[in-house]
Structure 1
Amino acid sequence: MPDSLDTLQSLTSLTVHNATSALEQGLDAIRSGQTKFDLRNVKAVDSAAVSVMLTWQRAAQEAGGVLELKNLPDNLKNLTKLYGVCSLVSSTLTAEDCGSAGGHAERSPSDLHHH
């Protein structure tokens, strides 16, 4: 089973403009058994990035795995902190990485499920 996803390393932005294609690219990789995504080259993000990453994580959980998102840019970490979902996005983020931003409390994994 492959460790990393080279195709996502080419991703330089994760915004509303490319969220749908990035989402599908990630979901295809998860279905193929990918467990690690490297986002080192992502420079431009907006709130759509958080939604995409949560959907990827949920898909990985439904497939019986945990998705590891590596090298998240600081602006993306800050968005996950702002929305209180930092620990849901990646298990590799430390407690310090997920420190409170804007007074929002962290969510539990059970909050990830839609009703």
Structure 2
Amino acid sequence: MRVDDESITIENVREVKAKLFARLEAGETLFDLSGVKRVDSAALSLVLALGRAAGARGARVAFANPPEQLRALGDLYGLEALGLFEGAKEGD
């Protein structure tokens, strides 16, 4: 599923969370973030929440083409070992 939101920040994370959790409930496990241009720590929190929710269902989620900001936040907090991010952002 391609995430259509250009930003995932504290201002809109609740709306994005509702959409992505609905898709997770429907069985979606790969989220394409190539359209996301701006994030803050709320986006990282959302990624982790989706990962936990999928794990509780015995599934694994992945996020393709994460924006560099999100990848950097994950690296800062030592989350690379979770393997949530796939591929590089287009244009990197």
- Shorter-chain TM-score category? 0.7 to 0.9
Q: Distance in 1 between matches of 2:44 and 2:33?
A: 13
Q: 1:30 aligns with which of 21, 24, 27?
A: 24
Unaligned 5+ residue runs, structure 1?
Answer: 94-115
Percent identical pairs in the alignment equals 33
Q: Is the 8 A contact 2:71 2:85 kept in 1?
A: no
Q: What are the equivalent positions in structure 2 for 1:65-80 lying under 5 Å apart?
A: 65-80=59-74
Q: Distance in 2 between matches of 1:88 and 1:66?
A: 10
Question: Number of paired residues?
Answer: 87
**Higher RCO (CA 8 Å, separation ≥ 6 residues):** 2
Q: Distance in 2 between matches of 1:41 and 1:91?
A: 15
Q: Distance in 1 between matches of 2:34 and 2:81?
A: 19
Larger Rg: 1
Unaligned 5+ residue runs, structure 2?
Answer: 88-92
List 4+ stretches of structure 1 deviating above 2 A. Answer: 86-89
Give the match for residue 19 of structure 1.
13
Over the aligned positions, Cα root-mean-square deviation in angstroms equals 1.5
TM-score (norm 2): 0.86
